[in-house]
A and B are shown apart, each in its own frame.
Chain A
Amino acid sequence: MNTTLPVLTGIGSVTPYGPLAGLISAEPLEPSAITAWTTPELRRAFLVEPFRPASIVPGLKTRRLDRLSAWALVAASLALHDAGIDLGQMDRSRIAVFFATGFGCVELTEAFYQSAATYGWAETDPITFPETLSNAPASHVALFHDLRGPNVTVSNKSFAAESALLQAASLMRHGQADMAIVLAGDTLTQAVYEWYETAHLLSPACFSNEPVPSTGGFIPSEGVVAMVLEPAGRLAARSYVALGAGRWAAGGDARAGVRQLLDGDLPDFTICAGNGAPCLPNPLTCSYRDLVGEDTTIFPAQPVAAGMGEAGALLHLLLALSKRPGHGEALLLGTSAHGGFAALRLELF
Chain B
Amino acid sequence: MISGSTSSISGRFNLVIDAQKTVVVTGIGVVSPYGIGLSCLQAGMLAGQCCLAPATEMYPGFQGTVAPVRALPALHDGHHYSRSDRLAMVAARDAVVDIAGSCSTFRESGIVMASTVAGLTEIDPEISRGPAAWYRHGGLSRAASYSVSRVAASVEEYLGLQGPGCAVSVACASGTTAVVLAANMLLDEAAPMVLAGGSDALCPFTLSGFNSLQALDADACRPFDQSRKGLNLGEGAAVLVLETLAHATRRGARIMAVLRGWAMTNDAFHPTAPQKNGIGLASCIQRSLEMAECSIEEVGYVNAHGTGTPLNDIAETHAYERAFHGRSRPIPVSSTKSYFGHCLGAAGALEAAITIMAMRAGVLFPTLRLTDPIESDQVDWLRGELRRQPLPVAMSVSAGFGGSNAALVFGSYRA
Contact = CB atoms under 8 A, between A and B. Distances in A.
Interface stretch (B35-43, B168-176, B326-334, B357-365): B168-176
B212 A129 contact: yes
B184 A171 contact: yes
Interface in A66-103: 92-93, 96-97, 102-103
A8 B119 CA distance: 34
Contacts of A249: 162-164
B172 to A, nearest CB: 10
Contacts of B171: 133, 135
B238 interface: no
Contact of B271 (A122, A130, A194): A130
Nearest to A96: B264
Given A135-B169, A251-B162, A157 B181 contact: no
Interface stretch (B88-96, B202-210, B224-232, B371-379): B202-210
B102 interface: no
Size range of the chain B interface in the assembly: 35 or more
Nearest to A126: B212
Contacts of B300: none
A203 interface: no
Contacts of A51: none
B149 A153 contact: no
A147 B162 CA distance: 34
B205 A194 contact: no
A252 interface: yes
A124 B212 CA distance: 6
A142 B132 CA distance: 36
A157 B271 contact: no
Nearest to B129: A117
Given A92-B268, A93-B265, A157 B153 contact: yes
A121 B61 contact: yes
A197 interface: yes
B263 interface: yes
Contacts of B272: 130
Interface string B248-273: 00000000000000011111111110
B162 A143 contact: no
A133 B185 CA distance: 25
A117 B270 CA distance: 29
Given A135-B169, A139-B402, A151-B264, 8 more contacts: A112-B208, A116-B128, A122-B61, A124-B211, A130-B272, A138-B402, A148-B280, A155-B147
5 contacts: A122-B61, A139-B403, A152-B170, A171-B184, A176-B264
